[in-house]
Amino acid sequence: MSRPVSTRIAAALLVLAACSSGGESSEKADTPAPQTAEEWIAESTRLRQEGSYKSAVDAALEAFKLAGSGPRVQERIALAKAFGAGGNPTAAINEIKELEKERTAGEIQLDEVDIAAVYAQIGDPPAVFRWLERAIASNSPNLQRVHTDTDFDPVKSDPRWADIVARVPQQ
């Protein structure tokens, strides 16, 4: 049985407290603060891509606060990506393993491409390609992301990447 989401959030906050800030700033002078969970997820992605990992985790946690009740899958994916890219693979793997268990139990809907993206941020190419193969086998509606999603940048130099991209026609 998986831990309640509030327990995972508390664990994430403890991990966050252990992260060094590195002088990061999540402020952008010309941009208003995000107002919705979806906007906070986008902000987390932006910060992660800029290398502001602690701020990316903070933004993902803000998305949790606004998401309301329910499985909060996208918020948890954003948090796992931020942990993975920020050099905390243990926290990222813990979250993705919980999501995988809930998916297997039929408790949540979680796309294989989302799982692969988290593993890309963690730096685990075998897991990335394993999950992308599953996405191809299940004809995931998110497969087109392999053509544009920067989450996969860490594995794009892997020889297996070209094979994956070639098997997913661009629309």
At 161 the pLDDT is 97
At 67 the pLDDT is 77
The stretches in the chain having pLDDT less than 70 are 1-29, 70-71
Residues 73 and 127 in one domain: no
What region does 87 belong to: left with phi over 0, alpha with psi -120 to 50, or beta?
left
At 22 the pLDDT is 43
**Which residue range(s) make up the domain with 82?**
1-16+33-88
Distance of CA 58 to the CA centre of its chain: 13
Number of domains in the chain: 2
At 72 the pLDDT is 84
Residue 69 domain flag: yes
User: What does the pLDDT look like over 48-60, one tens digit per residue?
Assistant: 889 888 898 888 8
Distances (CA, A) of 10 to 5, 16, 99, 140, 145: 9, 10, 16, 32, 31
Distances (CA, A) of 33 to 72, 81, 157: 21, 21, 35
Classify residue 3 by its DSSP letter.
P
Residues 117 and 65 in one domain: no
Residue 102 domain flag: no
Residue 100 domain flag: no
What region does 161 belong to: left with phi over 0, alpha with psi -120 to 50, or beta?
alpha
Residue 152 domain flag: yes
Residues 120 and 80 in one domain: no
Residue 41 domain flag: yes
Residues 78 and 124 in one domain: no
Residue 61 domain flag: yes
Residue 28 domain flag: no
Contact 99, 77 (CB under 8 A): yes
